Amino acid sequence: MGATYGGMSGDEFHKSVREWVDTAMNPVKKKKYVDMIYQPMLELLQYLRANGFQTFIVSGGDISFMRAWAEKAYGIPPQQVMGSSFKVSYDSTGINRLPQFEFMDDGPGKPVGIYQHIGKKPVFAAGNSDGDYQMLQWTSTNSLPPMEIIIHHTNSTREWAYDPRFADRQTGKGIG
């Protein structure tokens, strides 16, 4: 990823992601990727916001990639999106992405990222991959009554079965 998007300005990258999101189709499902977002998670986010919770995305994916489309898809503004990141620099032309990895927001990196960017331990966390385990584990130690949820995508017909116990990663078809 660094070799592909390194040297690109922040604005160029944002524009290329928005164009990709608006047109890219999953080759198996023949749907836009944004149309394959797990519907129960969208409903959960809506419920939490309606009940006074501030919601965040904590992704193992590239933070700039996620910020380019997360608000439209999830209703979560860019400043409430965290993710893995590449180093950036500034010059008179603006922000430039460098082909050097900076931070991995996955596994044990998720609690670190939350601590550094939000500044407090979650009272509620929901995840959908093994990379969310440490975030859920850390949430469980909150002094307030915490709730942790792990969603295993096992329905290859409705969305995508990517839990390794239930899916062929090449086709997304259920095998369990």
Beta-bridge partners for 91: 94
Residue 133 sits in which domain range? 122-176
Residue 104, classed as helix, strand or coil, is coil
Show the 3-state SS of the chain: CHHHHCCCEHHHHHHHHHHHHHHCECCCCCCEHHHHCCHHHHHHHHHHHHCCCCCCEEEEEEHHHHHCCHHHHHCCCHHHEEEEEEEEEEECCEEEEEEEEEECCCCCHHHHHHHHHCCCCCCEEEECCHHHHHHHHHHCCCCCCCEEEECCCCCCCCCCCCCCCCECCCCCCECC
Total domains in the chain come to 2
Same-domain pairing of 81 and 142: no
Residue 47, in any domain of the structure: yes
Quick check: pTM over 0.75?
A: yes
Residue 156, in any domain of the structure: yes
pLDDT reported for residue 19: 94
Spatial distance between the Cα atoms of 134 and 131, rounded to a whole number of angstroms: 7
Q: What is the CA radius of gyration of the chain?
A: 17
Residue 136, in any domain of the structure: yes
Residue 71: DSSP 8-state:
H
- The pLDDT-based confidence of 176 (bands split at 50, 70, 90) is very low
Residue 168 has pLDDT above 90, yes or no: no
Q: Give tens-digit pLDDT for 44-70.
A: 999 999 999 999 999 999 999 999 999
Residue 115, in any domain of the structure: no
Do 27 and 46 touch, CB atoms closer than 8 A?
A: no
Of 41, 23, 43, 46, the C-alpha closest to 33 is 23
Q: Give tens-digit pLDDT for 78-109.
A: 999 999 999 999 999 999 999 999 999 999 99
